[in-house]
Structures are given as structure tokens and as C-alpha cells.
Amino acid sequence: MPAMGHVFVRLSGFGMRLLPYWPYEFERDGETPDRVRVTHWADASRLTATVDSQHRESAEGIVDVSPGPEHQYWRAETGIYGFTWPDGFVIGVSVDANDPTPFYLFGPDEARIYPQGPFPTEKMLDAAGWTGPGQKLAAQYHLDDIEVFELDFEYADSPWWQTHWAFPVGAGQSLVISGQCPAAHHDLVRNAIRHIVETLSDTQP
């Protein structure tokens, strides 16, 4: 796998593929599985369009809609890999063009999940490398070939939690899926990362 730069996440499912205009955000309608609200941030403007099985039209400057796979769930795809979109999260990007993170999954109360890498496996950080100032390593364990680090820290006088899941994705390459959140949401974030990792595969054409 090549190193990632800034990438678009497209969604596939329900007979469609959705390709947004950067900077963008995908938000699911919890009561209607096939319905997605797409937002494009244009300077100070917020442009939105809603897409579902009955409304498959592109919206100029917001999202392009084309035919896609018929599976009855949404799969997030980058140019390198894809995963099934976990419940409880919005997919989007930073509006800061200098932010190197290719995309985020935003959850409640500033919870977020984001990828890092792929990196050369030989240069992957150990527990000390993942533990930043003010953080304490709370747990370190393996799930098959995945190495998981969990950290506790204080943010705005409240307990927070951070995790990094590092695993091989190719010859000599490793990907990291990271997350952080108020400590009360750590189960939500941990379960969402587990879901991403379990459904991760190469992007299909």
C-alpha cells in the first residue's frame, strides 16, 4: 500500500456510490438505513443534499451519485481500503486544508476515530511512543495480529480515553486506527474500531 495523502471517502451501497466535494461530511438517517445527508462546507456556507434509494440524483457542488453495489448497507471506501460504516458516527474531514488526517469518524461529545498510515512496520511505535505528555498507558494487548494500546488522560478537567489499533496491511506495512473520547464513551469508540477493523478490506473497483 502506498502512503496516504488527503483522500476522499466515497460511500457505496443500496445500488449507489456517493462521491462528495471536499470538505465534506456524511451523516446517516438512523430511521432510514439507505438515507444519507451530505454536507459540503463552502467558505462560510453549508450546502446539504439528501440521497436515498428514491432520490439518487447528484447535487452540483455537493455530491456526485453514480450506480454502485446493491448490498443493503453503507460501505466507506478510500482509494486503498474500505470498511462498513459503524453506527453512531458521522464521516467527515477537517475544514483545515493543512490537516494531514485523511478523514474522521465523529461521535458524541467530541469523540472521534481516524486512520494513521500505512507506515513501514519496522518503524511502528511501541507503548512508550504512543504515550504522550499527561497520558498513562492503561492497557496493552493483542487481538490476533492487532496490537492495541489504551491510554487515560485528562482534558478540560475531565477524564478522557485514547486508543491505537496497529495491524499489518501489506508487505512491510502497518495501518493504525486511532480513537479518543470522553471516558464515558470508550465502549462506543472501542466497538466501532473493532467493527472497522473486522470489515476492513481492499477497496473494490
Note the pLDDT tens digit of each residue in 32-41. 999 999 999 8
Q: How far apart are CA 140 and CA 70, in angstroms?
A: 39
What letter does residue 114 receive in the DSSP assignment?
E
Q: What is the pLDDT of residue 4?
A: 33
Listed as ranges, residues in the chain with pLDDT below 50 are 1-6, 205
Q: What is the pLDDT of residue 203?
A: 67
**What SS3 state is found at 132?**
coil
pTM, entire model: 0.92
Q: Which of 41, 38, 33, 57 is nearest to 49 (CA)?
A: 38
Is-contact 18 38, C-beta < 8 A?
A: yes
Q: What is the pLDDT of residue 204?
A: 58
- Report angle CA 181, 184, 186 to the nearest 5 degrees: 55
Q: How far apart are CA 183 and CA 91, in angstroms?
A: 21
> For 132-178, what is each residue's pLDDT tens digit?
999 999 999 999 999 999 999 999 999 999 999 999 988 899 999 99
Torsion sign, CA atoms 69, 71, 72, 73: negative
Angstrom CA distances, 56 to 31, 34, 63, 64, 68, stand at 18, 11, 11, 9, 11
Q: What is the pLDDT of residue 151?
A: 98
Q: Where are the domains of the chain?
A: 112-205
